[in-house]
Amino acid sequence: MSDINPFFIFFASIFTSNMVLANFLGMCSFIAVSREVKTSLGLGQAVTFVLTGTTIINYLIYHYILVPFRLEYLRFIVFIITIAAFVQLVEMVLERYVPTLYYSLGIFLPLITVNCAILGVSLFMVIRDYNFIQSVAFGVGSGLGWALAILAMAGIRQKLQDAPVPKGLEGPGITLIITGLMALAFIGFSGIVKIQ
């Protein structure tokens, strides 16, 4: 399982096993925030950044603290605390040193703590038994994949504003259908690489 080339994992997590389109993770903010391209770009960047950081930290904590002490069952609590703490820390650091970036990402950072894609990537990493390099590739790739999906969705939804949508489908309904079509398109990539 764990001898896959990290490079494959990186591409697979962007295209073939995209977090949103194949694993349904991060749907909540995907539907809520994908109304505008600009905000989607902000959230996409923030998610990629946080995913990279938390995957690395969670990998180290899991393999160097939880496993040696046989505390694997505590991983849910530990992972969620790591994510919350990391998000808080990033928020403070950005506010202090990079105020411009803080103001563009600011409102999205608290949202990320409850984004299931972040916790999901850490859990997948443990279940699939990745080594350190593979985990990093998986984290970065998943973040980019998520950002790609939300950007594409925001673009489509902006075009969709003038389209006549049936009353009951307006809002979330039509978003889900578009997501389905996108997922269908992404299945076309699935012949290239396979990681699960």
Partner 1 sequence: MMKLKDIKNIFSTGIFNDNPVYRQLLGICSALAVTNLMLNSLVMGLGLVFVTAFSSMTVSIIRQYIPRHIRMMVQTLIISAYVIIVDIVLKAYYPSMSEALGPYVGLIITNCIIMGRCESFAQKNSPIPSFIDGVANGLGYTFVLLSVAFFRELLGFGSLFGIPVLGDWWVRWIFMIMPPGAFFMMAILIWVTNSLSPVKEESTVTGGGR
CA 193 to the chain's CA centroid: 19
* 82 touches 54 (CB < 8 A): yes
Identity of residue 97: Y
| Least separation in angstroms between CB 185 and partner 1 | 9
b/e burial code for range 121-158 (CB count within 10 A of at least 16 → b)? bbbbbbebebeeebbbbbbbbbbbbbbbbbbbbbebbe
| Least separation in angstroms between CB 41 and partner 1 | 18
For partner 1, which is the closer residue by CB, 17 or 52? 17
For partner 1, which is the closer residue by CB, 99 or 188? 188
Positions that interact with partner 1 (CB under 8 A):
21-29, 31-33, 73-77, 79-81, 84, 111, 114-116, 119-120, 123-124, 127, 166-174, 176-177, 179-181, 183-184, 187
For partner 1, which is the closer residue by CB, 95 or 101? 95
| Least separation in angstroms between CB 64 and partner 1 | 20
| Least separation in angstroms between CB 71 and partner 1 | 11
Q: Among 60, 57, 44, 75, which residue's Cα sits nearest to residue 142?
A: 44
For partner 1, which is the closer residue by CB, 101 or 123? 123
- Computed on alpha carbons and rounded to an integer, the radius of gyration of the chain in Å comes to 17
